[in-house]
């Protein structure tokens, strides 16, 4: 299969083109394009492990600040936008930092096998396809949910009404999650609770969904005898 055209001459883009499916690479390439619009500055006052870089867009007034922490020896790149945790692709900010540091190869831990051409071809044969934007591993799902729920909690704790809304929502979600883990969808569980006890079906009984039901043995009768015609 012919490799898709490249936006840049970055080796990391060429690596991604050879690794990802064409659809996923298209999404990665959008991040490559977006990375060229960021101004990067190293945070020289950062006292933690590794290096810290701050990035702002050159296209907008009062742009949002993004921070990328890098531990080169471990091949770790962490961005405050958490795009990788949610989507499984490195973001434009990390790509900008990689280019700035002359990184030639994306670390393997940031190349999810589920988005690779080889894995997708295998899943197509088995009929099991993945949806982009939905985390594919337990770790990615956990990280994505933690980020979103932490944001909700930080907002809800500032107001009694907001806290009550979130608290009530959690109470509703807890049994629904437990049911889903057992393989019962929440709507199925609600239907089972709301349905009245079923009466024994008659010989011609039909439920509201229009499907004929098995006849009750108590209601079965032999058919009436019909006189034969003729002599």
* Residues 184-194: tens digit of each pLDDT: 765 655 555 55
Look at residue 165 and tell me if it is in a domain. Answer: yes
The predicted-structure confidence for 62-76, as pLDDT tens digits, reads as follows 889 999 999 999 999
Hey, which of 29-38, 53-62, 81-90, 217-226 has the most confident mean pLDDT?
A: 29-38
Output 201 or 184, whichever has higher pLDDT.
Answer: 184
The secondary structure element, H or E, covering residue 38 is strand 38-42
Residue pair 57/66 in contact (Cβ under 8 Å)? The answer is no
The answer to whether residues 110 and 84 touch, using CB atoms and an 8 Å cutoff, is yes
Q: Residues 116, 178: one domain?
A: no
Q: Rounded mean pLDDT of the chain?
A: 78
Domain with 105 in it = 11-126
**Token duo for residue 66:** 């993004």
Q: pLDDT class for 60, splitting at 50, 70, 90? A: confident
Greater model confidence, 124 or 159 = 159
In a domain, 224, yes or no: no
| Residue at 102 is within a domain | yes
Q: Examine residue 59 and state whether it is found in any structural domain, yes or no.
A: yes
Res. 109: pLDDT tops 70: yes
Based on the fold, state whether residues 148 and 179 are members of the same structural domain.
Answer: yes
Q: Residue 136: CA atoms inside 13 Å, Cβ hemisphere, count?
A: 20
**Residue-level pLDDT at 211:** 43
Radius of gyration of the CA atoms of the chain, in A: 29
Buried/exposed 40-74: b ≥16 CB within 10 Å, e otherwise: beeeeeeeeeebbbbbbbeeeeeeeebebbbeeee
């Amino acid at each position: 299969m012919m490799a898709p055209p490249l936006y840049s001459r970055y080796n990391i883009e060429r690596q991604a083109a050879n690794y990802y499916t064409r659809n996923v690479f298209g999404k990665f390439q959008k991040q490559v394009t977006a990375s060229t619009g960021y101004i990067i500055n190293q945070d020289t006052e950062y006292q933690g492990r590794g290096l810290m870089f701050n990035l702002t867009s050159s296209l907008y007034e009062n742009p949002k600040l993004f921070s990328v922490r890098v531990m080169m020896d471990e091949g770790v790149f962490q961005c405050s936008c958490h795009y990788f945790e949610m989507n499984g692709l490195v973001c434009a900010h990390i790509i900008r930092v990689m280019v700035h540091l002359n990184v030639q190869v994306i670390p393997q831990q940031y190349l999810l096998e589920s988005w690779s051409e080889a894995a997708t071809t295998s899943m197509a044969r088995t009929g099991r396809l993945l949806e982009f934007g939905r985390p594919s591993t337990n770790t990615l799902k956990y990280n994505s949910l933690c980020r979103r729920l932490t944001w909700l909690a930080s907002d809800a704790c500032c107001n009694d009404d907001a806290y009550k809304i979130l608290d009530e929502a959690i109470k509703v979600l807890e049994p629904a999650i437990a049911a889903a883990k057992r393989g019962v969808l929440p709507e199925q569980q609600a239907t089972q609770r709301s349905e009245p006890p079923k009466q024994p079906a008659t010989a011609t009984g039909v439920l509201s969904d229009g499907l004929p039901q098995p006849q009750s043995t108590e209601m079965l009768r032999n058919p009436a005898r019909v006189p034969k015609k003729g002599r």
